[in-house]
Amino acid sequence: MPFVRRSLFAYFLVLLGGWLGAALLSGCGSDKPEQAASTAAPAAGVSGPQPLLDSAYVARALGAVPQFRAQLPWAEKFYRERQYRLGWFKDHQLVPQATQLLQTIAKAADEGLDPRKYQVKDLAKLFSALKVAPDEAHRDALEQETDVALSGTYFVWASDFYRGVANPHDAKNTAWQVKPNKIKLHKALLTYLGDRKSKYGYYEFAPLHPEYNNLKKALAAYRTREAAGGWPALPTGLALRPGQASPAVSALRQRLLGAPDDTAAHASPVYDKALVSAVKAFQNDAGLRPDGVVSGATLRELNVPIGQRIDQILLNMERWRWLPKKFEADYLLVNIPEYRLRVVENGQEALTMRVIVGKTLTATPIFSDKMEYVVLAPYWYVPFSIVDKELKNKLAANPRYLDRLDMEVVKGYGRKATVIDPGTIDWANVTQANFRYTVRRRPGPKNDLGNVKFIFPNSNDVYLHDTPHGELFSQVSRNFSHGCVRVEEPMKLAAYLLRDKPEWDEQTILDTVATHREKYITLTKKLPVYLVYLTAWADAEGHAHFRDDIYGHDKALALELFDKPAGPAPVRVATRPQPAKTAALAASAKRD
């Protein structure tokens, strides 16, 4: 089981005590790695040249250990760059990083990882043998074995910590198409051992993203709460409004304010202002309407067991390991389960707004690309599925049927498109194979894409766009589309993206839209776009926020990481019914 959900830190320290015990001084209160490493090395006075390795030895030593085999390519690159000199020894002494690595692994549970996975070789035995090696030949052989074992251990650990336990690009995780984390682990180890410099925190195993570190803080807080007994469940069917009195108020106070059982039991049974404020804050954190009423969705979220929340944090820590090791200074990010878009400029949030994403059956894909242009007054190109199922029979009976829909038939795309008289087409015999044309809706108030769309060319045929159905943004759950992402404030976003083009101020944008003539505007600089799937995140203080698993990706990942299905809570399994768009024509679209 690659992940550890419970707080087993004390157990793992005992489990790995053999490793650390061989490396620490008798005064084990010292936390200085220089002191720790010195006792794990041969006695003072050992001399002679440091032994070398060769490619055959490295391949043989790592290949003999199943857990190390997958790391062999990294080890080969690491030792090749060092001309096969040992990496973990200096003058026959283990370097301080050796003990630091073992101490870090002993605390792997803090990262949601299982320390037992990294106890591959009996390093304590090797450390002890080094101190009593009878001669130079034995000592050199032990140094070689220990060095390769430490490298193998590092790569197993670093692979999980920096790149993720699960492979986001294998057959089990095809939904995740964000550009991969490209950390070169042999470079990370060279940096860790001081052979090269890096702007990344490889020296101290620092997380690459602050968002990961925030989740780590939340994990610690939730495990502490779990160890203290977790939180009580509220009665099923509870409907509690501000000012009402109920026996359930005691449990609610304990759930949200963490009041001890005895204090909560003797407090007033009235649902008072302080508790209402706590409920509203909880509703905001859960993405619910902050009305202070405890019932329905709020009650379900309150009753999610703390163990499932811990699992949810772990799943999203894993996803942060999948993301690129560094975001660009400027980028646009859509968090699909949060229904929110953020634009980051120079590392700071510059713009944010609500979005509508795909329904479960037409899920918005998780991927990254670069935005290249903005389209004002866009055409909407009707998918052939709609032409086939809804239009062709009506057009066979009445070739002018498209006029009432403000649509037209064209040959070609963009500026080269030529309008075709629908009366010249044999609609009764149209198939996808023989239909050489495209049906499109003209710019204007009926257009499904609204007044603007934002294009980042991709194989998913997904983009951001306006919508004539702005009323849907008031909904709490906003998975209504057919895959594309509808944005709440498209003109604001367009003005921001074109801010470096003086000729395209906000009024010019509005005037262009009013002409109902499509206009493509190329961005001066391509903007990275990330469509991600994060159902848990935390602020710098470790205060956690959670969202529903609307597409079931948490459930699938939990099976891989925890070797168990997700729990029954809707946060984990994404079974809430999704509302459908009422317009029949748009409801059949492949992408909108």
Question: Which are the catalytic amino acids?
Answer: 465, 484
Give the integer Cα–Cα distance in Å for 109 and 119: 13
In 84-135, which residue ranges form alpha helices assigned H by DSSP? Answer: 96-106, 123-131
Question: Between the CA of residue 122 and those of 16, 155, 365, what are the distances in Å?
Answer: 10, 16, 44
Buried b (16+ CB within 10 A) or exposed e, 253-287: bbbbeebeeeebeebeeebeeebbebbbebbebbb
Whether 158 and 200 have beta carbons less than 8 Å apart is answered as no
What is the residue-wise DSSP string for 32-76?
Answer: -HHHHHHTTSPPTT--SPPPB--HHHHHHHHHTSHHHHTTHHHHH
> Rounded to an integer, what is the distance from CA 393 to the centroid of its chain?
45
Task: With beta carbons less than 8 A apart as the criterion, state whether 324 and 352 touch.
Answer: no
Coil vs helix vs strand at 252: helix
Bridge partner residues of 272 (DSSP) = none
Cβ neighbours of residue 404 under 8 Å, at least 6 residues apart? Answer: none
CA nearest to 350, candidates 208, 211, 497, 455: 497
Consecutive H or E run containing 567:
none
3's tokens = 């992940």
Residue that is written with structure tokens 């002409």 in the block: 515
In angstroms, how far is the first alpha carbon of the chain from the final one? 41
Q: CA separation (Å) from 501 to 328, 358, 521, 560? A: 22, 32, 10, 48
At 228, list the tokens. Answer: 């203290």
Hey, how many other C-beta atoms are within 10 angstroms of the C-beta on 322?
A: 20
CB 586 within 8 A of CB 480: no
Do residues 570 and 554 lie in contact, with contact meaning Cβ atoms separated by under 8 Å? no
User: DSSP character for 113?
Assistant: B
Alpha-carbon gap, residue 251 to 256, rounded angstroms = 9
Total length of the chain? 592
Handedness of CA 437, 443, 445, 451 (dihedral sign): positive
* Strand 519-532 to 331-335 pairing: parallel
Chain centroid offset of residue 581 CA? 28
